[in-house]
Structure 1
Amino acid sequence: MLLPPDPGAPRRARRLVREVLEGAGREEWIDAAELAVSELVTNAALHARTDVEVDVEVHPEHVRVEVRDSNPTLPSQRHYGEQATTGRGMALVASVSADCGVTALPDGKVVWFEVRGRQEDPSEEDLLAAWDEEQWEVPGAAGAPGAGTAPPAALSTVRLLGVPPTLWAATRQHHDAVLRELGLYLTTHDGVTADLAAVEVARQSFSNALIAAAEDARRRTPVTSIPSTGLPTALEPIDVELDLPAEVGPAAAALQDALDTAERLAARGELLALPGQAEVVAVRDWVCDQVRSQLRGGSPWPWQGARDERFETPAPGTGPAAVPDEALTAVLDEAARRGRGLVAVDAGSRVLAVSAGLAAALGWAVDDLVGRRVVAIIPPALREAHIAGFSRHLHTGQSRVLGKPLVLPVLHADGREVTCGLLIERRPTPAGRWLYLAWIDPPGDADPA
């Protein structure tokens, strides 16, 4: 069956698989095969952006399903948290099939799977255990053993200086989430456009290469942690050289345009994903601008880092989230009763409320700190790790700090670092928003033990 890359393709592929297996009398293979082919055809429609050919072969001991497209870019493995909204397509196929893989072709690729034997319904424990990332090796997938593509001709070298590995990994995870939602949004909404084919060129060239470099840096660099917490610090910046063809320049521009569109939709609440943190947007703009500039003959200039004061003030039009005043008043009253300092922050890292005693202890007037981003009181050396961790939390639900007593340095308004005891928690509000509360002991009262 030949299918166009539209929203109806997965449904027609499922129907084909069901009809073939019912005709062969192998109903026991239908559920697993339908689920796997649906995922593969959806991926082809969203990412390959070409016509899709689905072949179903029934053999005495198994059924083999092949999904072919005309985009030579291989699927990439991702190991995201259990609450991530994307990144486990091939993992899902591997979990429900007896065997699967990817075959590169000169004019595209074939992604295939086989179902055999009697498929038993897995228990909940089996499903949870199956999320062990070591079970997701898919032969031929980009990032899996044996993967590779032939280098294109007429390449130019792009030097990205000072790439922040920890921040870029979180940035790419944000991109994966919002771009997948954008692709689905475009199928049902008029008046919004994005060149998703060009976006894939950018992601599969320099974006994937940066992820590979970041993962290599993580493997080679000893993990350091913040004293008294065990929390990992951000990896040191790395320099990355990429050999890219000229057409990647326009693709980088298309990636920026698509992500800007997705950010606007997310800010209006039209996507499930939340808008990206300011540093996440800034580092992707830097990467894309560097690729475009250097492919036109420009000179490289390094990433300036997340310590820039510009990140302390929210961008125009991104004011505090709509958290009811009574919710903020309630948590400030609670802080007064408990005798603890408090900073209340929204999902955009904006400070919505701060207790007067804590603000004074940190050298701030309440009105000056409210409305800023919380990085204003985070030491510069810890900002990248904070932003990366918070961004991952917003997209996956994972957190290493929520509900855990911590002893961390907090930045005083005069630039000093003061040691404080912290406990961070997340609370829902009546308006359906999340409020992040940092209970902070007065400087000097923290117990390092």
Structure 2
Amino acid sequence: MTDDGPLRLRPGGDLSLDPDLHAPAAARRLVRELLAGAGHDAWIDAAELAVSELVTNAVLHAQTAIEVSVAVSPQDVRVEVRDYSPTGPRQRSYGAQATTGRGMGMVAAMTDRCGVIQLDDGKVAWFTLTGAAAEPTLEEVLAAFEEEQWEVTPSTPSNRPAVDPPPPTGRVVLEGVPPTLWMAAQEHHDAILRELRLYSASHPETTFDFAGAEVARTAVLDLVAVEAQEAPRGTGRRVTLPEGHPSPLREVRAPVDITLQVLPGAAASSAALQDVLDAGEQLAADGSLLAFPGQPEIVAVRDWVCEQVQSQLRGVPPRPWAGSAHTRFEVDAEAVRSSAEIATIIEHVRSSPRGVVASDARNRILAVSAGLAASLGWDVDDLVGRRIVTLIPPSLREAHIAGFSRHLSTGRAHVLGVPLELPVLHASGHELPCDFLIEQVGAGAGQSLYLAWIDPRDPGERGELPKDVADAGPRR
């Protein structure tokens, strides 16, 4: 169905839609025609935007039949979008430049009232516009993104008895969940799922278990995020980036333990989520999605949560998150995509008399100047091919991965072009205070490289290296 196709109207003027990517256009057309016919042209733009968001949410997340109802009066218009998934919208706490998780905040900003009515077999998302409606300011839109401004009303249709939700059938304990890393991971996974649904709409030969993945996303991943945000901060120390560092992730929450009460089918749905996200990551790596593939730590923390659900429901004891500061994240076996531009940049870095390292969007080190490698205790050939986290002290890796993942998702970066002072990890494990300047450079065909100009502070400022470190020589 397109904007020019016939509307499938139900008795009373309601619109029935299939959960596909043509549904939002049909809903917009219905709203536009009814408001124009009633002489309420001033409401058309806001109503079209809001109904498009609600129907898109139903298509992407409910994946059930959709019904749209529009009631127009001289004083107001009320639009309702009905689906048959019991899972309601959840407030997201993503960064200001996040590319997902903004829908209900936008509806709240563009309408006078909005809300969700929970039914025993689904829900109704609704909004109203009145004669007093005015276009919101930018500040009001941004504020709505951060505040939960919709009403959630439990309700049961009068013609059928209420049905209690199935009781939890399993208990899963997640030990050492990293809150900062997990929120970045969830934002990335939401973006991959959205892109994959769009991809599948234009590739009907592909089959993905989106229904199973959506169950796990809302019943496991979202719950972990909520619990991680609300859990006590614990007694563990917070890792803080140096004073004046421009990153919004200066503070890294201490790990928290989370207990989930999961519903029947949680093991199967979490496995389906892994399969769907793995397919999405591969398509992202192939350049078939707009989203970048996830950093290895992002994928690993997701796999850990899903595998803990599956294994613990089989009776296996909990296995704590091993952390991001693991040697397995220091290497990347994927082949590096090369180009003439990349080759030229690599050659300049290799021959540079200054301390500089070049890395790509997977955080892989493509080149390093000989002087910098030597000052960090590495042989050039052994450092090239590793990931940049090899040079980042373990206490700062989670903040780096979370920040870099959000940069890839949003295009925004708080540290590019800003002089910084940060420690760099010597091959021996010793931390060296260094002056930093990071810049992003184009490398052809939509690719980017990152150049980190690194100048270790002189021995008088940081103290001489221990003799056993100085005698160790380059790491090979």
Q: Residue 268 of structure 2 corresponds to which residue in structure 1?
A: 250
The one of 318, 330, 333 aligned to 1:300: 318
Check whether the contact 1:4–1:51 (CA below 8 A) recurs between aligned residues. yes
Amino acid in structure 1 at the alignment position of 2:424: V
2:117 equivalent to 1:103: yes
Counterpart CA distance in 2 for 1:184 and 1:324 is: 31
* Rounded Cα–Cα distance in structure 2 between residues aligned with 1:68 and 1:393: 35
Aligned residue number for residue 280 of structure 2:
262
Match of 1:278 in 2: 296
Does residue 442 of the first structure (1) align with residue 456 of the second (2)? Answer: yes
Partner of 1:290: 308
How far apart, in 2, do the equivalents of 1:206 and 1:442 lie?
44
2: CA distance, partners of 1:160 / 1:73: 23
Among residues 198, 201, 226, which one is paired with 1:184 in the alignment?
Answer: 198
Is residue 234–residue 256 contact of structure 2 (8 Å, CA) maintained in 1?
no
Q: Distance in 2 between matches of 1:141 and 1:378?
A: 48
Post-superposition CA distance 1:260-314 (Å, at most 9, x none): 0000100010100000000111111111000011112221111111111011110
Which protein shows a greater Rg? 2
Q: Work out whether residues 376 and 425 of structure 2, in 8 Å CA contact, stay in contact via their aligned partners in 1.
A: yes
How big is the shift at 1:226?
2.6
Distance (whole Å) between structure 2 residues aligned to residue 243 and residue 358 of structure 1: 51
> Aligned partners of 1:159 and 1:324: how far apart in 2?
45
Partner deviation per Cα, 1:328-357 (whole Å, 9 max, x = no partner) = 334556x43xxx311111110001111110
Question: What is the distance in 2 between the residues matched to 1:141 and 1:240?
Answer: 28
2:151 is aligned, of 139, 156, 160, to 139
The equivalent of 1:364 in structure 2 is 378
Task: Give, as a single letter, the amino acid of the residue that structure 2 aligns with 1:404.
Answer: V
Q: How does 1:395-434 map to 2 (within 5 A)?
A: 395-434=409-448
8 Å contact from structure 1 (residues 364, 413) kept in 2: yes
RMSD of Structure 2 on Structure 1 (CA): 2.4
Q: Conserved in 2, the CA contact under 8 Å of 1:95 and 1:130?
A: yes
Q: Aligned pair in 2 of structure 1 residues 241, 141: CA closer, same or farther (>3 Å)?
A: farther
Deviations 1:77-98 (A, max 9, x none): 2243344321111122112111
CA 1:273/1:28 → structure 2, altered by over 3 Å: closer, same or farther?
same
Of 298-307 and 258-267, more deviation after overlay is shown by: 298-307
Report what 1:162 is aligned to.
176
**How much has 1:321 moved relative to structure 2?**
5.8
Instruction: Give the equivalent residue in structure 2 for 1:53.
Output: 67
The answer to whether residue 336 in structure 2 is matched with residue 319 in structure 1 is yes
- Letter in structure 2 aligned against 1:328: I
1:108-119 to 2 correspondence within 5 Å? 108-117=122-131, 119=133
Name the CA shift for 1:2/1:384 in 2 (closer, same or farther; >3 Å): same
Change in 2 beyond 3 A, CA 1:224/1:141: farther
Paired residue secondary structure (1:358)? helix
AA in 2 matched with 1:325: A
Whether the 8 Å contact between 2:168 and 2:261 is mirrored in structure 1 is: no
Q: Distance in 1 between the 2:200 and 2:117 partners?
A: 29
Greater RCO between the two (CA within 8 Å, min separation 6)? 1
User: Within 1, Cα distance between the matches of 2:56 and 2:233?
Assistant: 33
Question: How many Å separate the matches in 2 of 1:68 and 1:267?
Answer: 36
Cα distance in 2 for residues equivalent to 1:151 and 1:236: 34
What secondary structure, in the 3-state scheme, does the structure 2 residue paired with 1:324 have?
helix
Q: Which residue is 1:127 aligned to?
A: 138
CA distance in structure 2 between the aligned counterparts of 1:349 and 1:392, rounded to whole angstroms: 13
Q: Distance in 2 between matches of 1:218 and 1:319?
A: 42
Q: Distance in 2 between matches of 1:228 and 1:265?
A: 39
Q: Is 2:349–2:368's contact at 8 Å kept on the other side of the alignment? A: no
Find the counterpart in structure 1 of residue 57 from structure 2. Answer: 43
| SS of match in other structure, 1:130 | helix
Q: CA deviation at 1:110?
A: 0.6
Shift in CA distance, 414/320, structure 1 to aligned 2, threshold 3 Å? farther
Secondary structure, aligned partner of 1:13: helix
Task: Mark the runs of 5 or more structure 1 residues left unpaired by the alignment.
Answer: 143-148
Which one-letter code corresponds to 1:166 in the other structure? T
| Change over 3 Å in CA distance of 1:82–1:324 after alignment to 2 | same
Q: Percent identity?
A: 53
Q: How do residues 74-85 of structure 1 correspond to structure 2 at under 5 angstroms?
A: 74-85=88-99
Task: Supply the distance in 2 between the matched residues of 1:431 and 1:332 (Cα, whole angstroms).
Answer: 23
Structure 1 contact 47–200 (Cα < 8 Å) conserved:
yes
Q: 1:446 to 1:259 in 2, by over 3 A?
A: farther
Residue from 222, 225, 228 that aligns with 2:240: 225
Q: Distance in 2 between matches of 1:438 and 1:216?
A: 36
The count of aligned residue pairs is 434
- Residue pairs, 1:320-399, within 5 angstroms: 322=339, 324-331=342-349, 335-336=352-353, 340-399=354-413
